[in-house]
Amino acid sequence: MNFTKMHGCGNDYVYIDGAKELVPQDQKSDLAVKVSDRHFGIGSDGLIFINPVDDPEVDFEMEMYNADGSRSEMCGNGIRCVAKFVYDHRLTDKKSLTIISAGKKKFIDLTVDDNNLVTRVKVDMGAPILSAPQVPVTVSAGSDKLDANGLSNIPSDICFKAPITAAGRDWEITCVSMGNPHAVVILPDDFDLAGFEIEKFGPEFENHPFFPNRTNTEFVKIDDRNNVHMRVWERGTGETLACGTGCCATTVACILNGLTDSTVNVHVLGGTVTCSWNGDGSSPVIMEGPGTTVFEGAIEI
């Protein structure tokens, strides 16, 4: 099977051209586990198939698996790399694309260099899902508890600054879905994010009873009104160097909490992703960042 290894700010996946590599559906989950292994496989945070679609309004499908073989609905870094893959491999000459993942369409604009290769990708990630049952999370604090930030169309059952106990410690979470569930934890100013024991606390959040579908968790330090630092524990994978949907969820949570302006540079371990949201619950989050090809090869499956 031919593959391409790519990453978005260090969030790396193995990418497969689904039109050329016909892997049986019932083998894809086990294959994701095999190729993701960093000692005995290729090494990645998961496996993504780029599939053709029979829909005039959609250009490609992204079919994503986590490193543990579980399906994932969306990956912001992943979809940027999918867009770079299809353009750089001349599967399309369009610089504006529509890519579908788990039934949700995302609208994408490409920036290319003098060699006609993609350097940056901007994605309309759609409106954030804030209603607690839709995230899903089984606890909410209510939009009546929001600060007066001039926000609009925010559901009354939002999970905002909701208390949670994980690994014997009390926290507050603001929950957002960007097609997949996120619990965002805003950390105090004196918190040591670099030395944080994310391997201890991340699994406790991921598998907490509050989250019927498990959750991704972002631990966030505020730098200023336009910059934050974040570490992420991804559902089904563990800590990763970046998470595109996590950067979007972090931006939304920071704005809801009145801590940042509408455009936020989210600094993760692997680089920086820029997200913007105008504070209207029905408006989309716009994410922009790089996609990088690491190497190509073939593996026996």
DSSP labels, 180-204: SEEEEEEPPTT--STT--HHHHHHH
pLDDT at 176: 98
81, 159, 243, 254: the catalytic one is 243
Q: Is 248 a catalytic residue?
A: no
Q: What's the whole-number average pLDDT of the chain?
A: 97
pLDDT at residue 155 tops 80: yes
pLDDT digits (tens, 9 = 90+) for 169-205: 999 999 999 999 999 999 999 999 999 999 999 999 9
CATH 3.10.310.10 intervals, the chain: 2-126+290-298, 132-283
pLDDT-above-70 percentage for the chain: 100
pLDDT at 236: 95
Per-residue pLDDT band for 48 (boundaries 50, 70, 90) equals: very high
Q: To which CATH superfamily is domain 132-283 assigned?
A: Diaminopimelate Epimerase; Chain A, domain 1 (3.10.310.10)
User: Is the CATH number 3.40.50.1000 carried by domain 2-126+290-298?
Assistant: no
pLDDT at residue 143 tops 90: no
Residue 189 contacts by C-beta under 8 Å, 6 or more apart in sequence?
221, 222
Per-residue pLDDT band for 150 (boundaries 50, 70, 90) equals: confident
pLDDT digits (tens, 9 = 90+) for 83-119: 999 999 999 999 999 999 999 999 999 999 999 999 9
DSSP code of residue 259? -
pTM higher than 0.85, yes or no? yes
Q: Are 179 and 71 in contact (CB under 8 A)?
A: no
DSSP code of residue 19? T
Q: Which two tokens stand for residue 190?
A: 């004196």
pLDDT digits (tens, 9 = 90+) for 264-278: 999 999 999 999 999
How far lies 213's CA from each of 14, 73, 85, 262, 269, in Å?
Answer: 24, 11, 30, 29, 26
75, 81, 247, 248: the catalytic one is 75
Q: Are 277 and 286 in contact (CB under 8 A)?
A: yes
Nearest 5 degrees, angle CA 286-CA 290-CA 291? 115
pLDDT digits (tens, 9 = 90+) for 207-220: 999 999 999 999 99
Radius of gyration of the chain (CA): 18
pLDDT at residue 247 tops 80: yes
Q: Is 75 a catalytic residue?
A: yes
As a whole number of angstroms, the distance between CA 132 and CA 148 comes to 20
